[in-house]
């Protein structure tokens, strides 16, 4: 049984976190692991229902980010966190072998793939889930029988991590709750003002509206962050970009390994992955300007994924093969006019301070590195309170025990309700 639920709110908390995605619940878990129990997370829907359930489900350094040397530290951090998460939640974060094909026409030449994979292993600093290797074609076609034999020159194998992003987010929330944090689902932050009592936030829970006050607010609303700031009359310190990524789920295509593919037309990397008895394909990249609640998979995005994928597959997929599609938004700090490839995936935390009361706003971040980002925010809060406590989320005893997911959140039905 899943045990997160809505709750009656107290009038005051030491820290209020807006948004129950991986970052919101990660920060609550971090603070609770230091003994800070007076922490509230408000989530308008259910925990993990936003971007955190719409990712590619990889726990990885991000091999493709090695195209930009500025992102090497980000990759190294991801690889460190990957090694830790595989130990902390082995039932939901698991190693997955990948095939990186070298194409007969177009795509990256073999020597470049080799350099990238060598660097990826090196940046994992001895915590690799298995070293890369050149794979013989028979083995590759056995692990991925759907591949079109005519397209490939050869294959590399490497390893990364895969998870159930919704389950991971909810496990982190349960861990925070177990240590004393309050997690309020179906609780929407409507507005916020500042006065003598610090920040006052109006929260709607069903028919009931209440106000809570606090000294520290963390805006972990991801793609919704600036919509809320506009309602609270707070001017963001940086521009934010919402970039939409769509995935599709099709029947099990018999993959034993994930496929790391590069489209020869636009050089974009995308994945074809075995996941929970289905095959997951994604993702697209389109800037998204509308209200975050309106983000839905578009027909042209589904078509894009099918076309790109079919270039590599012996059996061609059509729209009729799509069982589910879902879209999430990469929420990044940057110039909305520059392309996604020019925007670093590194995270940013901005601060609005009024006296001793602070609003922290989070930009960017990755599911994989949520723990490191959460520690950084919790360190800032603890420090401004004069508290020298240390994060303990790297210890297994700080984690909740596994629980089964409720029936409506199993795959693929969950994407009807999220």
Ligand X SMILES: Cc1cc2nc3c(=O)[nH]c(=O)nc-3n(C[C@H](O)[C@H](O)[C@H](O)COP(=O)(O)OP(=O)(O)OC[C@H]3O[C@@H](n4cnc5c(N)ncnc54)[C@H](O)[C@@H]3O)c2cc1C
Q: Which residues bind ligand X (CB under 6 A)?
A: 18-24, 42-45, 49-52, 54-58, 188-189, 220-224, 228, 245, 283, 328-330, 362, 365-368
| Contacts with 224 (C-beta within 8 Å, 6 or more apart), sequence order | 19, 50, 292, 293
Residue closer to ligand X by CB (options 228, 304) is 228
CA 205 to each of CA 63, 117, 214, 244, 265: distance values in angstroms, whole numbers, following the listed order: 42, 49, 18, 29, 48
CB of 18 to ligand X, least distance (A): 5
Task: Indicate the residue among 33 and 243 with the shorter CB distance to ligand X.
Answer: 243
Which of residues 110 and 268 has its CB atom nearest to ligand X in the complex?
268
Q: Closest separation between CB of residue 52 and ligand X, Å?
A: 3
Residue closer to ligand X by CB (options 113, 369) is 369
Look at residue 243 and give its three-state secondary structure. Answer: strand
Q: Which residue of this chain has its Cβ atom nearest to ligand X in the complex?
A: 21
Does residue 18 contact residue 221 with C-beta atoms inside 8 Å? yes
Neighbours of 119 (CB within 10 A): 15
Nearer to ligand X, 96 or 99 (CB): 96
If you ran DSSP here, which 8-state letter would residue 147 be given?
Answer: B
- Report the nearest approach of ligand X to the CB of residue 146 (Å): 21
CB-based burial label for 322 (10 Å; 0-12, 13-18, 19+)? middle
Closest CB to ligand X among residues 183, 398: 183
User: What is the rounded CA–CA span in Å between residue 62 and residue 330?
Assistant: 15
Q: Least Å distance between CB 96 and ligand X?
A: 11
Best CA proximity match to 366, nearest among 345, 336, 393: 345
Task: Output the smallest distance, CB 281 to ligand X, in A.
Answer: 12
Integer distance in angstroms from the first to the last C-alpha of the chain? Answer: 19
Q: Quote the least distance from Cβ 137 to ligand X, whole Å.
A: 28
């Amino acid at each position: 049984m899943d045990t997160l639920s809505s709750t009656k709110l107290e009038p005051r908390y030491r820290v209020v976190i807006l948004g129950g995605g991986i970052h919101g619940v990660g920060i609550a878990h971090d603070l609770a692991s230091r003994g800070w129990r007076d922490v509230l997370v408000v989530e308008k829907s259910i925990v993990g229902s936003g971007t955190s359930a719409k990712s590619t489900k990889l726990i990885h350094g991000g091999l493709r980010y090695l195209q930009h040397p500025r992102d090497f530290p980000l990759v190294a951090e991801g690889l460190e966190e990957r090694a830790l998460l595989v130990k902390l939640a082995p039932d939901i974060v698991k190693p997955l072998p990948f095939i990186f094909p070298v194409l007969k026409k177009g795509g990256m030449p073999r020597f470049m793939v080799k350099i990238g994979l060598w660097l990826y292993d090196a940046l994992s600093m001895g915590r690799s889930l298995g070293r890369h290797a050149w794979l013989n074609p028979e083995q590759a076609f056995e692990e991925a029988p759907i591949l079109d034999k005519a397209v490939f020159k050869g294959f590399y194998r490497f390893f990364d991590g895969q998870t159930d992003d919704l389950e991971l987010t909810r496990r982190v929330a349960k861990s925070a709750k177990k240590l004393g944090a309050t997690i309020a689902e179906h609780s929407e932050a409507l507005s916020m003002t500042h006065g003598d009592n610090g920040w006052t936030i109006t929260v709607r829970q069903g028919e009931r509206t209440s106000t809570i006050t606090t000294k520290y607010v963390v805006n972990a609303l991801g793609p919704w962050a600036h919509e809320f700031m506009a309602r609270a009359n707070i001017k963001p310190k940086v521009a934010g970009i919402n970039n939409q990524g769509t995935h599709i789920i099709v029947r099990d295509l018999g993959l034993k390994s994930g496929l790391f593919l590069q489209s020869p037309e636009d050089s974009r990397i995308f994945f074809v992955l075995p996941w929970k008895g289905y095959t997951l394909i994604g993702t697209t990249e389109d800037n998204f300007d509308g209200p975050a609640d309106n983000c839905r998979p578009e027909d042209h995005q589904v078509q894009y994924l099918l076309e790109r994928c079919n270039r590599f597959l012996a059996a061609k997929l059509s729209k009729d093969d799509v069982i589910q599609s879902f879209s999430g938004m990469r929420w990044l700090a940057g110039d909305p006019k520059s392309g996604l490839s020019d925007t670093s995936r590194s995270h940013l935390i901005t601060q609005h301070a009024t006296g001793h009361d602070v609003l922290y706003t989070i930009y960017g971040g990755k599911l994989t590195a949520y723990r490191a980002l959460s520690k950084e925010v919790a360190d800032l809060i603890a420090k401004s309170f004069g508290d020298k406590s240390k994060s303990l989320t790297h210890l297994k005893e700080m984690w909740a025990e596994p629980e089964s997911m409720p029936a409506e959140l199993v795959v693929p039905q969950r994407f009807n309700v999220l």
